């Protein structure tokens, strides 16, 4: 059982995760942001791997990815930065990116680098259930890493149950069919969707992401899931400053 699995075993509600793009706003700020988030009381962190074609990401995260790449970020630096702070960080980290990044780096080399960098799991939106089962499940298990699948409003009940059967940490409940990005509220259509999935009584906890940006949307999401993930709103908050005071203030507002 890795850190991510332990978290969901021991905590059942109000789980807060933050996504940010490694190497943004500056190449060297990755470790500082992770440490600041941990001190601020975040439960786990998604560390984005900048990619030139981030199909699931909205404008804010796309822009941060482009700037991180322009700053010189690559996977070698990404893993080295994580490895350098591994002994100082205790909360679970998830690497979020795309299958092509793992394949180009080399599957085993990539997965070993995740372990060496203190990563507990992966979110790869373009990794299909079938490909994971046939090509990656055994490898992930070999390295003690979990794979987190995304579910959308269009995902059938049959497929959700298939995902639940193969998952062993949490299921990422995408709040809408759009890309990532801050939203001001959660509408009734989304609430109905959250209720529908919650009422399936799945074995894995649910965490809601995409469009969660403030205390109101975080609290609403936590009514229907074990927690929520905030990405674009946080990325915007660190675009000017990334000191601990800025990070702490952002998290305290979400938790208030």
- The question of whether 57 is a catalytic residue gets the answer yes
Contacts of 229 (CB under 8 A, 6+ apart): 17, 18, 19, 46, 172, 207, 208, 209, 212
Q: Of 38, 43, 57, 164, which residue is the catalytic one? A: 57
Q: How far apart are CA 99 and CA 114, in angstroms?
A: 14
Task: Single out the residue of 174, 129, 169, 161 nearest to residue 145, CA to CA.
Answer: 169
- 178-213-27 Cα angle (round to 5): 90
Partners of 227 in beta bridges? 15, 207
Task: Single out the residue of 28, 54, 30, 16 nearest to residue 179, CA to CA.
Answer: 54
Q: Of 6, 46, 135, 185, which residue is the catalytic one? A: 46
Question: What is the per-residue burial (b if ≥16 Cβ within 10 Å, else e) of 20-35?
Answer: bbbbbbebebbbbbbe
What would the two tokens of residue 85 be? 């702070």
- The question of whether 46 is a catalytic residue gets the answer yes
Residues designated catalytic: 46, 57
């Amino acid at each position: 059982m890795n850190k991510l699995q332990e978290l969901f075993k021991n905590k059942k509600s109000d789980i807060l995760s933050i996504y940010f793009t490694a190497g943004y706003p500056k190449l060297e700020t990755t470790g500082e942001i992770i440490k600041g988030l941990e001190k601020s009381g975040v439960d786990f962190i998604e560390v984005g791997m900048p990619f030139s074609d981030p199909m699931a990401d909205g404008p804010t995260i796309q822009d941060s990815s482009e700037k991180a790449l322009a700053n010189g970020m690559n996977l070698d630096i990404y893993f080295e930065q994580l490895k350098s702070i591994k002994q100082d960080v205790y909360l679970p980290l998830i690497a979020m990116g795309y299958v092509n990044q793992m394949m180009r780096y080399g599957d085993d080399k990539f997965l070993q680098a995740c372990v060496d960098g203190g990563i507990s799991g992966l979110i790869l939106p373009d990794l299909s259930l079938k490909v994971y089962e046939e090509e990656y499940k055994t490898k992930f298990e070999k390295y003690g890493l979990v794979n987190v699948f995304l579910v959308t409003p269009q995902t059938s009940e049959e497929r959700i149950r298939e995902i639940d059967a193969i998952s062993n940490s949490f299921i990422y409940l995408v709040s809408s069919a759009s890309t990532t990005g801050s939203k001001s509220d959660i509408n009734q259509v989304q609430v109905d969707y959250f209720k529908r999935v919650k009422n399936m009584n799945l074995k894995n906890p649910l965490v809601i992401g995409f469009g969660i940006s403030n205390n109101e949307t975080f609290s609403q999401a936590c009514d229907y899931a074990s927690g929520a993930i905030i990405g674009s709103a946080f990325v915007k908050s660190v675009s000017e400053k990334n000191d601990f005071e800025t990070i702490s203030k952002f998290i305290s507002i979400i938790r208030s």
